[in-house]
Amino acid sequence: MDELDSGIIRLLQTDARQSNRELARQLGVAPSTCLERVRALTRRGVIRGYHADIAPAALNRSVQALVSVQVRPLSRTVIETFKQSAAEQPEVLSVFVLAGGDDFLLHVAVQDLDHLHAFLLDRLSKRREIAGFRTSVIFQQVHNTAPGLLPYEPPDVLSP
């Protein structure tokens, strides 16, 4: 990863729908250079895909929470089974497998607090492998669209 790769990633994270020509213009490089760099980043697995950023509130899922979960017994089978099952729940946006006091962190989005309560009681607490869980309601969320990337300064002249 060099500064040009970081610039491509930063711009794509801001707007993945922009054309290669527009990307190249903003970076101050030739479109062919930009296209080859994007393809190389994709081949290397740096760019995994392009996704729409959907507002949960627009889908009537305005209440979000983080649910810390402990499972027992700790085994590969229990962890894999719970991870897969949790990821299939329509309320769950993300599943994180953790080290430390908690085994999982679930990011959930639901209509309201009653639906969150129902999810916790009717879905989560009834699972035999759940030893305990804690819930934190999210009031606000801010996304860092370009975490830890090097700043990119386009050259004064276009590269060939």
Residue 94 β-bridge partners: 107
Task: Report percent pLDDT > 90 for the chain.
Answer: 79
Q: Where are the domains of the chain?
A: 3-43, 56-138
Q: Are 30 and 24 in contact (CB under 8 A)?
A: yes
When pLDDT is averaged across residues 7-31 and rounded to a whole number, the result is 94
pTM beyond 0.95, yes or no: no
In angstroms, the Cα distances linking 50 to 4, 47, 65, 99 are: 19, 8, 25, 29
From the options 3.90.1520.10, 2.60.40.10, 3.30.70.920, 3.30.70.1560, give the CATH code of 56-138: 3.30.70.920
Please give the CATH architecture assigned to the domain spanning 3-43.
Answer: Orthogonal Bundle (1.10)
- Per-residue pLDDT band at 148 (split at 50, 70, 90): low
Give yes or no for residue 20 having a pLDDT over 90. yes
- Distance from C-alpha of 64 to C-alpha of 112, rounded to nearest angstrom: 9
Per-residue pLDDT at 152: 59
Per-residue pLDDT at 41: 96
- Distance from C-alpha of 37 to C-alpha of 41, rounded to nearest angstrom: 6
